[in-house]
Homo-oligomer: A and B are copies of this chain.
Amino acid sequence: MTHARTVTAGLVVVGDEILSGRTQDANIAYLAKWLNEEGVVLKEVRIIGDERPAIIEAVNALRQRCDYCFTTGGIGPTHDDITVDAVAGAFDVGVIYNEEALQMLAGHYGPEQLTEARKRMARVPDGGDLVKNPISGAPGVRKDNVFMLAGIPGIMRGMLEGLRGELAGAEPMLSDAVTVFAPESEMAERLAAIQDAHPEVSIGSYPFFRQGEIGAALVVRSTNAGHIPPVLAAIRQAAEAIDARWVDGEALT
């Protein structure tokens, strides 16, 4: 079965701590790979602060232009956790307590320890649902095509486990690479000609300068496995034409 259409996703990272440089993001690459396994292409990421208008604008932009929109961060119990409220604002709906989430929290903390702050974690936009977390139990929230996930990497990954097979994905994008040990500029003209001759794939050139070695990983992508090997062969030939060493796969990048 082939799907002509690409299925796309956008990601809104809610995080003052990323914008201040305090924290190195660890979720974007993980989510990108997970989406690819599900046949979904990550089209755009926006990293914004913990501010309601910024979250509303980014969620509305990405949920409308992509098939799915994910958010990470801002769904905990503290005053700066405002993602659920902002997503409700993006949909112009109210916020309600989810009964199932309240029961899970009461079971976890005990009913007498279910403070107002903890109950915040059971709030969902009206019409929203839980995203089960088979790893740690802490659920995410879904409202239509928007998935609100935790910012803590281990918890976000558990929520994604609960979403395996739930998205209507297309064929996963496949890729393979040749690494050429030569300055990118020596390969550039031959590479442009190969791309022109093979519009059925996309070729990316990812240069590196490391430990005295200069080169580029040349990555060939297609949803059709048969389209890739002839292009890799053309790249190897181009490398040999300029007397450059090459290895299959990605080396040293």
- How many angstroms from the CA of A175 to the CA of B202 in the assembled complex? 44
A interface size (C-beta, 8 A): 67
Q: Quick check: is A104 within 8 A (CB to CB) of the other chain?
A: no
- The closest CB in chain B to the CB of A196 belongs to B79
Number of copies: 2
Contact indicator A187/B78 (Cβ below 8 Å): yes
- The closest CB in chain B to the CB of A155 belongs to B209
Q: Quick check: is A205 within 8 A (CB to CB) of the other chain?
A: yes
- Which DSSP category, helix, strand, loop or mixed, fits chain A's interface? mixed
Contact indicator B46/A203 (Cβ below 8 Å): no
Q: A29-B18, A29-B24, A79-B195 are in contact. Are A188 and B117 (CB under 8 A)?
A: yes
- How many angstroms from the CA of A189 to the CA of B192 in the assembled complex? 59
Q: Quick check: is A162 within 8 A (CB to CB) of the other chain?
A: no
Counting chain B CB atoms within 10 Å of each CB, which of A78, A192, A221 scores highest? Answer: A78
- How many angstroms from the CA of A109 to the CA of B188 in the assembled complex? 15
Q: Which residues of A contact B (CB under 8 A)?
A: 16-25, 28-33, 36, 41-50, 54, 76-81, 109, 115-118, 120-121, 152, 154-155, 173, 175, 184-189, 191-192, 195, 202-209, 216, 219, 221, 253
